Structure 1
Amino acid sequence: MFDPMLSRNCCMFGTTYESFPWSLSTYSIYHTSLTTSTAAASSFGRRVVSMAVSSNKANHRNPRRPKLPPEVDNTFKRVLYEDEEEMTQKPNLDILTDDDDEGVVSVDSSDGILWESDEMEAISSLFKGRIPQKPGKLDRERPLPLPLPYKIRPLGLPTPKRFKNCSRESVSKQVYKNPTFLIGLAREIQGLPIEENVSMVLSKWSPFLRKGSLSLTVRELGYLGLPERALETFCWVKKQPHLFPDDHILASTIEVLAGSNELKVPFDLEKFTGLASRSVYEAMLRGCIKGGRLKLALKLLSMAKESNRVLDTGVYAKLILELGKDPDKSTLVLVLLEELAVRDDLNLTPQDCTAIMKICIRLRRFEIVEGLYDWFRESGGNPSVVMYTTMIHCRYSANKYREALAMLWEMEASNCLFDLPAYRVVIKLFVALNDLPRAVRYFSKLKEAGFSPNFDIYCSLIKIYMASGRVAKCKDICKEAEMAGFRFDENTLLKLQQ
């Protein structure tokens, strides 16, 4: 019986034989007996497939046995058709698929057995290797794996959740250091009736306050002239465990009471000061200076010196400023200046340094002023317009006009803005130098800056115009001064002519 499928396959392999010089064993496929039944071939193929699959399972059961690549049987070949009339130039071990015919696509070379497509797929899958993948980005960085919760979680029992009152905490952070709020408390206490206690205001804010918060409120009460309310505030704080003890509010209260002369000095002052901290001691000293009790301040200063207690240099500066107002106490001022000069930890603010300079100019101790200025520049400070004006006035008072002029050029080189006292001192300097053009130029700068000349500036200009013999200009300056509200009598004009 003639099999058309077998005839078609034979024709296909015959064409392949003519085109490619395959081995003789392959050529024997075309001369095999055509009488072999298809059922026998199929059963034989299934046995081969089952043997291959069982062999593959056996390899998986015994993992210690090395997995060797299977031996490729060169007798299995495939011809790939791109078209019915064209044929590829290279054979490949793959399955030939045909949409029109589903049947046998390959023949075994040894026994002349026909293979079906599903059988060839099962056999060829055993010899396929790993599918090559497309190369990706070689410089790609893989992200780190996310931490697993069970690995980062600490061992032990879970900790209980602690709930916080965030609203109270946020309000506390906003108010316990806020100057506007703390000063507002003092204003609110000021508005209380006399019979009411400060607890009416402070009790509702107690949970939001911290240690040291009410020290600013106590100082504000001192500025308002309410030392009794300041003492009541301190007594209320003493009853609050979370606000007391606190040296800040104690020092503020003592400074306010001493500044208003309401502080009762105990008989055993040495015992009291021995137990006081440095901040409380300095607060008492500042309060005595502010209240005008200079004798008590000098006594506290001497007690601190005897007990080797080191106080802030700013306290010395404030005491020197108050003592310098009295010419009879110049000796005490010089003693304090000597004590201040030997301090290695000299730390004066620009305001304290300028205040000491002015006192030394009044005492005509110009060398101390020059020494303070040199120390301030060496310590890295930037002089202000007040310090520059003080130095120009110091050299002008010492009749060192050229040195004062050099200080003026230094002041202008630092781009320091002039104020009215600076213009006044500079114009007096040019009058002493008899430099009329520069005096007139700085007088014009004064007006351009928006300042109104005072009586001393008008007198200085009248004096230099009279020295230059410009009487008409003197009359113009007098008229301008009279329009500004100043009046020159005959004695003043006579003094300016001299």
Structure 2
Amino acid sequence: MDAAVLSCCFRNVLEISVPIGSAKSWKTTIIRNRRDQVRLSLMDPSRTRINLRKPIKKLKDPQGINDPPVFTVNESLHKETRPFHDPGDSVVIDFDGTVDALSNDSETDNDEEKEQIEENPEWDPEDIETITALFRGRIPQKPGKLVRKRPLPLPLPYKNRPPGLPSSKKWSRTTNSSRKSLSSRVYKDPTFLIGLAKEIRNLDPEKDVSTVLDKCSRFLRKGSLSLTVRELGHMGLPERALQIFCWVQEQPHLSPDDRLLASTVEVLARNHELKLSFKLEKFLSLSSQNVYEAVVRGFTRSGNLKLAYKLVSAAKNGKMILDSGVYAKLILELGKNPDNHVLVLNLLEELAERDDLNLTQQDCTAIMKVCVRLRKFEIVENLFNWFIDSGMKPSVVMYTTLIHSRYSNNCYREALALVWEMEGLNCLFDLPAYRVVIRLFVALNDLERAVRYFSKLKEAGFSPAFDIYMDVIKIYAVNGRIAKCKEVCKEAEVAGFKIEEQTRSVLMQLQE
């Protein structure tokens, strides 16, 4: 009994074929055989084969080269080679005793799918080229379709919104910021304000300025009309400036305006239309500093220098510190008259006592020129050093003034050092600078440099003045260059200058 059973089992085992590559062939086969015995009870009476897994597609090779080698259990027992099998494959036992290698993830399919899987797929050249291009990058286009026409985008609803609907709040703020109000663009526009002055000038004498200002009153702000008033002062219309001030007093949103008052007072003082009482202390206490300085500037420009000096003295006694520019303009006007040198020295002493000296380049240069006339060369040097220490860059006019100061003080070598400093800074010379430098070289009896700067003057496009011609003639005569003297004399006559008879006689004597 036992021998018969063993012979049957041994016969069934020998008929089982296992593919190469099964890492667990023996254990898997025995376990699957036991499971298949359980599955036999699940078969239908007709003993129809049940496929529980989808078989792997097998490629048919006519020569049989690529077919996986299959051998029986007896061969595996005699050969110690372990069959190669993918661990991911599973083994299914057929009812006739064969074992097939299948995939774990395969499922049952119908007969039609089996036939499609068993067929050998054939790929077209275009499909192979497309798949290859996926690994290369961009898919090549066929000739004739190089330019691809894209359809137009669909209209967006918010762009096709019918007119009349309110705009979104998101863009309303941006629109308002880009469109500034007319008043914010006009109230400080110089073109508009000067245009008002021209319209007022063109008015009939019988008409008032209100006919022009009423049209634009809503666009104006405090301080706007100060530029219009100053422009009317340049036009010589102080009455119109006073009318503008009176009109502003009736406008609640424009008055009081301290800037307009200062401009009006300055225009009236400049045109001799302002009358002050003799009680300057009372005027000082009632007016602000801007208005007080405007009055001083107005009287200074009008030529009423004594009254301007009285106002400055009253401000000093009242401990009001005026701007340094007011002192500079008054010193410049007073320095033109030699009789006012004492007043100029007093103002210079007041400026020297101030610690917060604040002068512009023009004001500083103007004071230096006045000090050269007064032969106060030390003040000129101090002002130049203060300007340099303040971190500002001197101009050609300031350098020329300092060279003239040192030339007037007979400090020729120090003046020559300034000339080399200007050359090192590549400073462009103007006509007064050439005049002073040539005069300096004539004083040093440096013929070569004097002639060189005389040639530079003409190369720069300047026409030499009469005193420059005379300086060049003088240095040629001192060095005995009579022919050059005659040449320069002819050049001066062609330029329209008349050579004095005394100079001609000196040249004749040198020639003899």
**Shared fold (TM-score, shorter chain, > 0.5):** yes
Tell me which residue corresponds to 2:260: 249
Tell me which residue corresponds to 1:78: 53
Paired residue secondary structure (1:100): helix
CA-CA distance at 1:332 after TM superposition: 1.5
State the distance in 1 between where 2:482 and 2:245 align: 68
Tell me which residue corresponds to 1:281: 292
Amino acid at match of 2:197: A
Mind listing any 5+ residue stretches in structure 2 that lack a counterpart? Answer: 1-14, 20-27, 61-66, 69-88, 90-100, 115-168
* Aligned pairs, number: 390
1:310 aligns to 2:360 (yes or no) = no
What do residues 46-78 of structure 1 show as CA deviations (whole Å, max 9, x unaligned)? xxxxxxxxxxxxxxxxxxxxxxxxxxxxxx973
Among 28, 32, 36, the alignment partner of 2:41 is 32
Amino acid at match of 1:98: N
In structure 2, the CA distance between the partners of 1:361 and 1:163, relative to structure 1 (3 Å rule), is closer
Among 444, 454, 458, the alignment partner of 1:447 is 458
Among 369, 372, 391, the alignment partner of 2:383 is 372
Amino acid at match of 1:269: L
CA-CA distance at 1:270 after TM superposition: 2.2
Conserved in 2, the CA contact under 8 Å of 1:79 and 1:92? Answer: no
State the distance in 1 between where 2:206 and 2:188 align: 29
Among 339, 348, 355, the alignment partner of 1:337 is 348
Among 93, 97, 101, the alignment partner of 2:109 is 97
Amino acid at match of 2:347: L
In structure 2, the CA distance between the partners of 1:18 and 1:449, relative to structure 1 (3 Å rule), is closer
Work out the percentage of aligned pairs sharing the same amino acid.
Answer: 61
1:130-149 map, 5 Å: none
Tell me which residue corresponds to 2:118: none
Conserved in 1, the CA contact under 8 Å of 2:199 and 2:212? Answer: yes
Tell me which residue corresponds to 2:397: 386
Among 404, 412, 415, the alignment partner of 2:415 is 404
State the distance in 2 between where 1:267 and 1:286 align: 18
1:357 aligns to 2:357 (yes or no) = no
CA-CA distance at 1:92 after TM superposition: 1.6
State the distance in 2 between where 1:481 and 1:246 align: 58
1:201 aligns to 2:212 (yes or no) = yes
Amino acid at match of 1:32: S
1:238 aligns to 2:249 (yes or no) = yes
Amino acid at match of 1:294: L
What do residues 330-350 of structure 1 show as CA deviations (whole Å, max 9, x unaligned)? 122111111111211111111
CA-CA distance at 1:200 after TM superposition: 2.0
What do residues 201-244 of structure 1 show as CA deviations (whole Å, max 9, x unaligned)? 22222222222111111111111111111111111222222222
Mind listing any 5+ residue stretches in structure 1 that lack a counterpart? Answer: 1-14, 39-75, 103-157
Conserved in 2, the CA contact under 8 Å of 1:77 and 1:93? Answer: no
CA-CA distance at 1:196 after TM superposition: 1.4
CA-CA distance at 1:287 after TM superposition: 0.8
Conserved in 1, the CA contact under 8 Å of 2:53 and 2:102? Answer: no
Tell me which residue corresponds to 1:228: 239
1:182 aligns to 2:157 (yes or no) = no
Among 483, 486, 494, the alignment partner of 1:472 is 483
Amino acid at match of 2:321: V
Amino acid at match of 1:81: I
CA-CA distance at 1:99 after TM superposition: 5.7
What do residues 114-152 of structure 1 show as CA deviations (whole Å, max 9, x unaligned)? xxxxxxxxxxxxxxxxxxxxxxxxxxxxxxxxxxxxxxx
Conserved in 1, the CA contact under 8 Å of 2:280 and 2:314? Answer: no
Q: Which moved more, 1:186-195 or 1:443-452?
A: 186-195
State the distance in 1 between where 2:501 and 2:183 align: 68
Amino acid at match of 2:429: F
Conserved in 2, the CA contact under 8 Å of 1:320 and 1:333? Answer: yes
RMSD between superposed Cα atoms in Å = 3.1
State the distance in 2 between where 1:99 and 1:287 align: 116
In structure 2, the CA distance between the partners of 1:30 and 1:436, relative to structure 1 (3 Å rule), is same
Amino acid at match of 1:188: E
State the distance in 2 between where 1:375 and 1:191 align: 49
Tell me which residue corresponds to 2:81: none
Paired residue secondary structure (1:281): helix
In structure 2, the CA distance between the partners of 1:467 and 1:276, relative to structure 1 (3 Å rule), is same
Conserved in 2, the CA contact under 8 Å of 1:260 and 1:291? Answer: yes
